[in-house]
Amino acid sequence: MARYFDEEWPKEEELLNIGMKMSKQHKRDRMNKAFCIGNGTSRLGFDLNKLRGKGTIMGCNAIYRDFKPDVLVCVDNGIMHEAYQSGIASEIDFYARNWTKVPALHYEMMLYAGLNLNEVNDVKKQWDGLYENDRGNATEFVMHGSNLSGIVNIIRKDKTRNKEKINKSYSYISWIYDNDRSFSIDDLGDKKDLGWACGPMSGYIAIKKYKANEIYMIGQDLVSETSTVNNIFAGTRNYVPKEQAPTPHVNWIDQWYTLMDWNPDVKFYKVNPDQGKIAEPIKEWQKYEGKNLFYIGYPTLDKGVE
């Protein structure tokens, strides 16, 4: 009997190890991860390329400038059209707010609101608020407009502030190019665009469209360690000045809270630096801690998500 055991146990052990490896692999296959990358300064120094192949990388706004995610989400007019006109939406899936494609024959009517040809030419000479890509052979376009008016504080380069009255209109037009992979957030189905900020919206899309059941919130800092705005791209095109005060975080907190509440079977991991205000647990999320909300550090993420 002892001889049989000695001879057969190595074979049994090998089969057991194979079974355990297969079980772990099946578990990993069941875990559909999404990495929702915001642009808070805490992610500086972390190599996002380490995440490739481990889940769906959901990028927010101007992240495309220096890193190509698997999916890009934009929700503000300027950055939506800047990103689209870069050509990124021919390479990856691109989701934008109110991204409605309109036949080209409506272009003049929508942009110039019935002005005659002479009036249109006058407008073009005096108006510097049109941001448009080359039409080429495009048969559709997307248009967004905005108007800024009122008394505002203008921050000069020398950091002095002056109150000025402004009245500026902007139109953003993107002609739809070949190999287009852009979608309106409204296209997701059962819920219309919730009007959420880009970070929480990327989480919503990851769950709704890409069936993620693990969400890693990276660079979703929510708060600032300083007296100024916390964003890697502050001071660049389509972003607020670096000197601006921190953005109120109540909406971000409420929207992530709602996403956790709607999806109790999805695990949310907020990735924090080792210390500072950004590393502090969010008191409004306490009811989900240890249930479907967990805090991990960048060193843990840096070692690789299993």
Q: Can you give the pTM of this predicted structure?
A: 0.81
CA–CA gap between residue 71 and residue 196 (Å, rounded): 17
Confidence grade of residue 146 (pLDDT, cut at 50, 70, 90): low
What pLDDT does residue 89 have? 97
Tell me the domain boundaries of the chain.
Answer: 31-101+186-302, 102-175
What pLDDT does residue 55 have? 95
For 115, residues 6+ apart whose C-beta sits below 8 A from its C-beta are 123
* Residue environment code for 168-191, b if the CB has 16+ CB neighbours within 10 A, otherwise e: eebbbbbbbbeeeebbebeebeee
Q: Which residue has the higher pLDDT, 167 or 48?
A: 48
- Indicate whether 77 pLDDT > 70: yes
Strand pairing report for 93-96 and 182-184: parallel
Q: Which residue has the higher pLDDT, 214 or 132?
A: 214
Q: Which residue has the higher pLDDT, 28 or 137?
A: 137
Confidence grade of residue 28 (pLDDT, cut at 50, 70, 90): very low
CA–CA gap between residue 60 and residue 71 (Å, rounded): 9
- Indicate whether 63 pLDDT > 80: yes
Q: Which residue has the higher pLDDT, 32 or 113?
A: 32
What pLDDT does residue 125 have? 57
CA–CA gap between residue 232 and residue 224 (Å, rounded): 12
Q: Per DSSP, which regions of 61-194 are E strands?
A: 71-74, 93-96, 102-103, 130-132, 140-155, 161-175, 182-184
Averaged pLDDT for residues 244-264: 96
- Indicate whether 122 pLDDT > 80: no
- Indicate whether 169 pLDDT > 80: no
Does the CA dihedral 196-76-236-245 come out positive or negative? negative
* Cβ(178)–Cβ(199) below 8 Å: no
What pLDDT does residue 25 have? 47
What pLDDT does residue 302 have? 79
Confidence grade of residue 124 (pLDDT, cut at 50, 70, 90): low
* Cβ(30)–Cβ(52) below 8 Å: no
Q: What is the pLDDT of residues 185-204, one digit of tens each?
A: 988 866 577 899 999 999 99
Local structure of 73: helix, strand or coil: strand
